[in-house]
Structure 1
Amino acid sequence: MRTKLSIVALAVSCSVQAQDIETITVNADFRDADIARLPSSVTVVDTARMQEQGGEHFEDVLKNIPNLSWAGATSRPRYFQIRGVGEQEEYQGAPNASVGFIVDDIDLSGIGMAASLFDLQQVEVLRGPQGTRYGANALAGVIYVKSNDPTEQFEAGTEVSLGEDDLVSVGAYAGGSLSDTLLYRASLQQTQQNGFRDNLYLGRDDTNERDELTGRLKLRWLASDNLTADLTLLHADLDNGYDAWTLDNNGFDTLTDQPGEDSQATTGASLKLNWAASSAVSLVSITGLADTEARHAYDGDWANPAYWSNLQCEDWETGAAVPCQYDYWWDKDQQRTTYSQELRLVSGEQGRIFAGTTDWLVGAYAMKLEESNDLESFYNGWEDVFLKSDYEATNSAIFAQLDSELGQWLFSAGLRIEHRSSDYSDDSGESFSPSETMWGGHLSASRYLGDRHLGYLRIARGYKAGGFNMDVPADLPGAKEFEDETLYNYEIGVKSGWLEGALSTTVALFYMDRQDQQVEASVQDPNNPQRFFLYTTNATGSTSYGLEADFSWALTANLELYGSLGLLDASYDDYIYNDKYGTPIDLSGRELAHSPSYQFNLGASYRHDLGWFANLVANGQDSFYYSDSATSNAESDSYVLWNTKLGYEAERWALYLWGRNLTDEKYGVRGFTFGNEPNDGWQDHLYVRYGDPRQFGLTFRYDYF
């Protein structure tokens, strides 16, 4: 039974009063902002929390972040949902992300797999539309991943993890000064494991393997007292398998004869220049580049010729029972390059306006994305879909923001105007060239409520560009193009400190009005049952409301409790569409996909004076619909995952024993409902991909300083 949002919200508002604000800097905003003064619902997972809980990939910290979900259609998280808003997959190209994903100022929105946890400073999640700062790529919010910066003092270290599923992870970092004005930091990590699947047909346990290499190099040039240049180079090579689906939904014993692949090689760079031209104004320039080659391929029949030939199917011509023949292969190669440039003028101490009460900034932004896709699929050895396409999108924007401090009140107002044009063509003769101008922004007011409390109100408008669908039936009404959408977010929150800073809490309530919502729909071809079409269309809209809260409580010098809670009610307003048989389907009032009504995180960390360490954390969430479609009207199960980490920490080294998913919970991360079994006449069934089972391992860390 689903938790009633109003009841739980009342309980939380009574028990969690507000938050003590630690001095945590949020780098994703225009100015590096103290989280205590930022009038928005933000979660920051810092180095200490990541090390306490362990893990190798960004996926391992997701459950610390309230109202953030991901759709497990890939080997690592690529498609995110914040407060129920976001994509679940993207099969054919023409990307158009709802959640921004930025790694060290390199825009990886829509291809977020390249995010190792090794040598990270923090992960920041800004919930709600970030129209002023990020524009069209941040309708739902932004995920910003920041690695450790160079330091003047020499630092170096290594970390090795060994675990079940043949896990081997090795990482090393080093940093310091190359000269009086040039600092560096370099890190490298290689992770390998089998992927928790046994292919019974091939007799292999590595067909779903993870083979991931991530390297970073950061240089900081202190060119003068007024000019600093930060250069980041990133290379991530994920050579992962993809053999994650089973016909019987056991989840971990596969039967494919052609295991798939989900690989991604990303090379990126960012250059940030900060020039204090005077005490009145600074110029900030951020240049970004990302080049990605990716392949996503899978065995679509999820079995092998011997399996199907042992089953009986009806011959379409004679009606007689004959051995089944079913073989389907889907394969897409993708090449994407993204260039971005942002310039902004930012006021300094002497540049404030309105009698010295108001900081200001103005700026311009340009981005060009180029993508080519080579898609091919085969059915029983025959060509099914062959499509080569080229896509290009150009965004240009201007923006401005004012931040005023009037006594105990803080006010912020921002506006962004953005133009987007795109061109698409493919070898089937399809071509599109949509163009549109959009706008977004925010208004906020916050006030100090005593020395340790800050309350705020925020209104924000976000937007997302429209687009088009490829390779959909010509007789599907309105399926070729879809319109842009907008989202209005209303938020009220309190950030406070208690017990002289020992207890910190945050609480935020939000209401979102999403208009002309873009949703993923699907149609299965009645004349070719093994083939189905995924396309995007506009629903009338949806309404979401809920709560986000977190706390951190240092009970003693050795013991800390922490936790977070996300509550969400996200549902369609009015949404009716026709299914593959032309039958009207009414989803009005139904919850959005991947929108669990609650998510929680509760943990405790203990450090003994003699060096002993222990961490225990529980992560849980409610059930959710897998897709925004009547053919996928099935829900996941609710679940709770328990993780622990025990060890000993000396001055320069540490040794840990860790366990993840201690109770071996079987939990779904993605599901599809469609016909994929010819022996029963292609009847619709729910097929579920499950998250990682129980795993134990050891981690050794050594730091030189």
Structure 2
Amino acid sequence: MSVSKLSILKKISPVALAVSSTLASGYAVASELNQTPDTRDEMEVIVVTSDFRGTELEKMPSSITVIDQQQIEDEGAQHFEDILNSIANFNWSGGSSRPKYFQIRGVGEQEEYQGAPNSSVGYIIDDIDMSGLGMISSMYDLQQVEVLRGPQGTRYGANALAGLIYLKSNDPTDVFEHGAEVSVGDDALTTFSGFSSGPLTDSGKLLYRVSLQQHKQNGYQDNLYLGRDDTNARDEFTGRAKLRWYATDDLEIDLTLLHADFDNGYDAWTLDNNGFDTLTDAPGVDKQRTSGSSLKFTYTGADAFDLVSLTSYASSQTHHNYDGDWANPDYWAGLDCGGEPCQYDYTWDKRGERNTVSQEFRLSSTEAGRIFAGSTDWLLGVYGMNLDENNEVTSFYNGWADEHVISDFNARNYAVFGQIDSDLGNGYSFSTGLRVEEREAQYDEDRLVDGEMKSSSFNPDETMWGGHIALSKTLSNTQETYIRIARGYKAGGFNMALPEQLADKTEYDSETLYNYEIGLKSIWLDGDINTNFSVFYMDRQDQQVAASQQAVEDSQRFYLYTENAGSSSNYGAELDGTWYATDNLKLYASLGWLETEYGDYSYQDKYGGTVDLSGRELAHSPKFTYSAGATYRTDSGWFANLTTSGKSEFYYSDSNESTSEAYTIFNARMGYETELWSAYLWGRNLFDEKYGTRGFYFGNEPDQDWADKQYIRYGDPRQLGLTFSIKFI
């Protein structure tokens, strides 16, 4: 970016600028900045592609983080896991080999063991819905990552109560460009990546883009019992292909194909909480194979409106397995259990298949089709989705079948939606949207009970609605403020095969979330600095809570269920910004502040006692999330990037008082770049910080009379590596 610099810029610290941008009065600043020229034509414009119309980020009346391709490449991110800590008020639950369950502003799932998916955080890859299956998220050849906070009731409906994650890969180009990249590192890391893009016909009407990546590493664990260092390995392939056909002057057709095969191990838990030396005799797996596609028709031949048809399909096979005793027969036999050698062996296995098909049609006004004297754009649409998921869960305790469940789940969603966006004059803009959604579900289950398979079924249906109202005000050509009210919803459901003492937990109600938000989006110092600031309050009604009980009569049996916790409230703020300090130095940072609190909620523990969580913070909801980064490029080609990110402590679960510790990690990347090739040396978690990503509190040691204890799964330790990339133009 080439924009003028003010000499005073060098005398002001980034911290002071961030504080001033947060605290300054919008109108006071506007009066001063109105005297400066409009520099937006000189700046790179970031477009939020997950919006209906593809709107500029600074014009979106909502709290959104966009991480563009340049930042992804500067930080050397290989997977979404590598960048998620740079997103304010965002967290994830590390109960799988890769992040799969996310929390935005304290709202989201921590796990999903039983089937019948019902996500709070939407997860979309190139218009393919992968909500609840988030682990297949390679960052290679990605255009940008978008994280929309708060309910997206108008655009995405039931799967976006808390917000949305949208991954957008690069589109085909009308000129040929190709590239390849190789990374090697400790932990036996090897990553091979490549892409190719260009026209398929001389006319330039048919374009293509293909990108491939194969990533492998051992997974940081040493299995001391088996003498292996690859029981937690990652073996991940991702392939994307895109075709863009300009069929006529008025019709554009986009086809996206996705295939991902993640064949990962899962051996991440230890009895002594050392984190990286396991003792299991039957290491687990965490596999996901997904094939998906999206087909988009965009017709612009009508005078008053454009027509978009969007079809998507995804088929995923999953396999999650773990050694639940976290040790081996020899280990347990060497311990005393009531005067006898201990005998303990437990394994858990879940195999599933999910198929999703969706269809959306929408009409959106053109300039000629605007209503109310040309002041208002409109949009109307219909949506349908069918989801089928089959699961088989088995577990064995000391050689006996402890659990066997075969389930079939089908959900059908139908929605109509609309939105209008009006220019009210004098710098005011108004937006409102509404979505009405019907959900029909059918769940059939065969479960092992007292040595016999017993059948049960459930078929709820309900009608839900959500939407938003937003008012924006342009204070100047560099300041935009907004106020937004949004209503989101999440379907209710059911818990199957619960014991008699939990019989009243069979059904739970739908959840509703109202989000109230005020924001300020600003450009400072002739475009050298941009900041986005928002304050929010979330009112959750009939909050759904994932609860569990460990049975007293059977130490390895857990009853997992969902129930409603009445109302709860979350509030806080987000601030992120970028400062082009010089032509060679870019600084960026984010800060999230979050306060969460249960309303009236209590539950019974396994001994029948009452645990009152009223007023307690929600799980996986750290009060502070923060990140900062700096990228420096010399005119001669040398490059360096340094980032840091962290979180304050948070509760691991809604079912106990187990908490994480606060942590901060540092990453660095440096190297040399030319127009055709680049080479980098990089390090992640440079100071080898030991930080928890998931925790459980229960009894898992028979020699200790199954006494409850905290067990922690840790994030990746320090890793160093080299990357070489080349481009062909």
TM-score, normalised to structure 1, is: 0.96
Corresponding residue number in structure 2 for 1:653 = 677
User: CA offsets, 1:603-661, max 9 Å, x none?
Assistant: 111000000001111101100000011xx311100000000000000111100000110
1:439 aligns with 2:461: no
Give the letter for the 1:579 counterpart: D
The 5 A counterparts of 1:174-573 are 174-179=196-201, 180=203, 181-314=205-338, 321-407=339-425, 408-427=427-446, 428-573=454-599
Q: What's the offset of the Cα at 1:542?
A: 1.1
Give distance in 2, aligned partners of 1:22 and 1:552.
12
- Residues matched between the structures, number: 689
1:41 aligns with 2:63: yes
Choose the corresponding residue for 1:579, options 605, 619, 637: 605
Q: What's the offset of the Cα at 1:577?
A: 1.3
Corresponding residue number in structure 2 for 1:154 = 176
Residue 588 of structure 2: SS of its match in structure 1? strand
User: CA offsets, 1:279-338, max 9 Å, x none?
Assistant: 311110110100000000000000000000000112xxxxxx110000000000000000
Q: What's the offset of the Cα at 1:430?
A: 1.6
Corresponding residue number in structure 2 for 1:317 = none
Give the letter for the 1:56 counterpart: Q
Contact 1:16 1:505 in 2 (8 A): no
Corresponding residue number in structure 2 for 1:620 = 646
Give distance in 1, aligned partners of 2:21 and 2:410.
47
Corresponding residue number in structure 1 for 2:728 = 704
Give distance in 2, aligned partners of 1:628 and 1:10.
34
1:144 aligns with 2:166: yes
Contact 1:22 1:504 in 2 (8 A): no
Give the letter for the 1:373 counterpart: N
Contact 1:22 1:36 in 2 (8 A): no
Corresponding residue number in structure 2 for 1:318 = none
Give the letter for the 1:13 counterpart: T
Give the letter for the 1:244 counterpart: A
Give distance in 1, aligned partners of 2:110 and 2:284.
19
Q: What's the offset of the Cα at 1:474?
A: 2.9
Corresponding residue number in structure 2 for 1:111 = 133
Give the letter for the 2:280 counterpart: T
Q: What's the offset of the Cα at 1:532?
A: 1.3
Give distance in 2, aligned partners of 1:443 and 1:242.
45
Give distance in 2, aligned partners of 1:462 and 1:134.
10
TM-score, normalised to structure 2, is: 0.93
Contact 2:21 2:531 in 1 (8 A): no
**264-273 vs 60-69, which moves further:** 60-69
Give the letter for the 2:433 counterpart: G
Contact 1:212 1:237 in 2 (8 A): yes
Give distance in 2, aligned partners of 1:617 and 1:46.
16
**127-136 vs 465-474, which moves further:** 465-474
User: CA offsets, 1:163-222, max 9 Å, x none?
Assistant: 110000000000100012100000100000000000000000000000000000000010
Q: Kindly tell me: are residues 123 and 79 of structure 1, through their superposed partners in 2, closer, same or farther at Cα, counting changes over 3 Å? A: same
Give distance in 1, aligned partners of 2:68 and 2:652.
30
Q: What's the offset of the Cα at 1:73?
A: 0.7
Q: Kindly tell me: are residues 653 and 10 of structure 1, through their superposed partners in 2, closer, same or farther at Cα, counting changes over 3 Å? A: closer
User: CA offsets, 1:366-391, max 9 Å, x none?
Assistant: 00000000110000000000111100
Q: Kindly tell me: are residues 595 and 15 of structure 1, through their superposed partners in 2, closer, same or farther at Cα, counting changes over 3 Å? A: farther
Q: What's the offset of the Cα at 1:410?
A: 0.9
Give the letter for the 1:696 counterpart: L
Give distance in 1, aligned partners of 2:679 and 2:176.
23
Corresponding residue number in structure 2 for 1:168 = 190
Q: What's the offset of the Cα at 1:277?
A: 3.2
1:667 aligns with 2:691: yes
Runs of 4+ in structure 1 over 6 Å off = 9-12, 15-21
User: CA offsets, 1:330-377, max 9 Å, x none?
Assistant: 000000000000000110010000000000000100000000001100
Q: What's the offset of the Cα at 1:15?
A: 7.9
Contact 2:519 2:532 in 1 (8 A): yes
Corresponding residue number in structure 1 for 2:33 = none
Corresponding residue number in structure 2 for 1:14 = 23
Residue 71 of structure 2: SS of its match in structure 1? helix
Give distance in 2, aligned partners of 1:426 and 1:532.
18
Contact 1:155 1:174 in 2 (8 A): yes
Which consecutive residues of structure 1, in runs of 5 or more, have no partner in the other structure?
Answer: 1-8, 315-320
Give the letter for the 1:339 counterpart: V
Give distance in 2, aligned partners of 1:591 and 1:102.
29
Give the letter for the 2:97 counterpart: S
Give distance in 2, aligned partners of 1:132 and 1:703.
41
Give the letter for the 2:532 counterpart: T
Residue 326 of structure 2: SS of its match in structure 1? coil
Identity %: 59
Q: What's the offset of the Cα at 1:55?
A: 2.2
Residue 48 of structure 1: SS of its match in structure 2? helix
Give the letter for the 2:528 counterpart: A
Residue 286 of structure 1: SS of its match in structure 2? strand
Give the letter for the 1:415 counterpart: L
Residue 384 of structure 2: SS of its match in structure 1? strand
Q: What's the offset of the Cα at 1:23?
A: 1.1
Corresponding residue number in structure 2 for 1:131 = 153
